[in-house]
Amino acid sequence: MLKASFEPYTLHFKETAITSRSHMDVKETFIVKVWDEEVPDVVGMGECAIFRGLSAEDTPGYEDILGEACRNPSALPPVSSIRFGFETAIADLRNGGTGRFVDNDFTRGETPLVINGLIWMGDKRTMKHRIRQKLDAGFRCVKLKIGGIDFNDELDLLGSVRDEFSVSDVELRVDANGAFTPANAMERLERLSELELHSIEQPIRQGQWEDMALLCSRSPVPIALDEELIGFRSDEEKKHLLDEIRPQYIILKPSLCGGFTEADKWIEIAGKRHIGWWATSALESNVGLGAIAQWVSRYSPDMPQGLGTGALYTNNFPSLLWLDGDKLYFQQI
């Protein structure tokens, strides 16, 4: 019989993390452990990575729901971050509690995942320095979070990269986190298109389906849905969303979009509609990041993934991942 427990854990950022929505110095998370009562020494570990202010299950009773899930881990609630944590912990348990629960070229340390270099918001000088650091480190796909400083300054930052590197040398992505409005989005997308961007994530806030659908049909920059995927539970709801908006891409954050099982369904449904995708972490610790990396490696993705957040914290857990330039490797066990 499966047993489970959880404990809260507070991650501390090395530097304040800034998006168009918030400023963060700490990140709350929960570590769940699962074991078979007949073999208590073998323990699987996962992360229930709630994202306050963004997760659909951000309610005062979250810990009560998590406690109930621990009392009955065979009947999980339809709560995205809890499913994400338990799916990881159970997979880990079934594979001996080593942290490695996928067997492929990636987890054997043979084939890496290519990731993008993430540029957090800051003032113009700070962001320019961060861009240079990523490029010097060997990243050939750079993603900027925009919407936090003057838009013209953001254009200048992107332009400085494009002046030095062609599209074939460096891929540029941006994430607006819903910072644009339906009124100004198209004009801004047209200006961004001059810089030959790969894509823009969530130009306007989620829930504005008609406006987003219009942008997706007319934008000169491919649009990726991100926060828009949060809170959907049925396949019919997923199909309805994608049929109504028709984005070019979707961004999969398993801790926010239903766990790994639901992320797999998103991929299947999007594929039938010729919608591309990639995976992105959502400020998880190394426990959750390692799980996402193993999950996405099963698809052998051919585009950079957004999995580079493990170095953000001063008190992260030990990791089985290591980075060489823009290549993410799994340590052999």
Q: Is 238 an active-site residue?
A: no
* Between 209 and 311, residue with greater pLDDT: 209
Band of residue 20 on the pLDDT scale cut at 50, 70, 90: low
Q: What is the pTM of this model?
A: 0.95
Mean confidence (pLDDT) of the chain: 94
Alpha-carbon gap, residue 242 to 226, rounded angstroms: 12
Annotation marks residue 253 as catalytic: yes
Provide the pLDDT for residue 16: 83
Token duo for residue 268: 């299947």
Catalytic residue among 128, 145, 238, 265, which?
145
Q: Look at residue 175 and tell me whether its pLDDT is greater than 90.
A: yes
Phi and psi angles of residue 133, each rounded to the nearest 5 degrees, phi first = -60, -45
- pLDDT > 90? residue 150: yes
pLDDT in tens, 285-325: 999 999 999 999 999 999 999 997 678 899 999 999 999 99
CA atoms of 284 and 138, how far apart (whole Å):
24
**What pLDDT is stored for residue 21 in this prediction?**
63
Tokens in use for 293? Answer: 């990396």
> 70 pLDDT band (50/70/90 cuts)?
very high
Tell me what pLDDT residue 64 has.
96
Does residue 67 carry a pLDDT above 60?
A: yes
Structural domains for the chain: 2-94 (3.30.390.10), 113-330 (3.20.20.120)
Please, which residues have CB within 8 angstroms of residue 35's CB and are 6 or more apart in sequence? 2, 3, 4, 41, 42, 43, 44, 93
Catalytic residue among 33, 143, 238, 253: 253
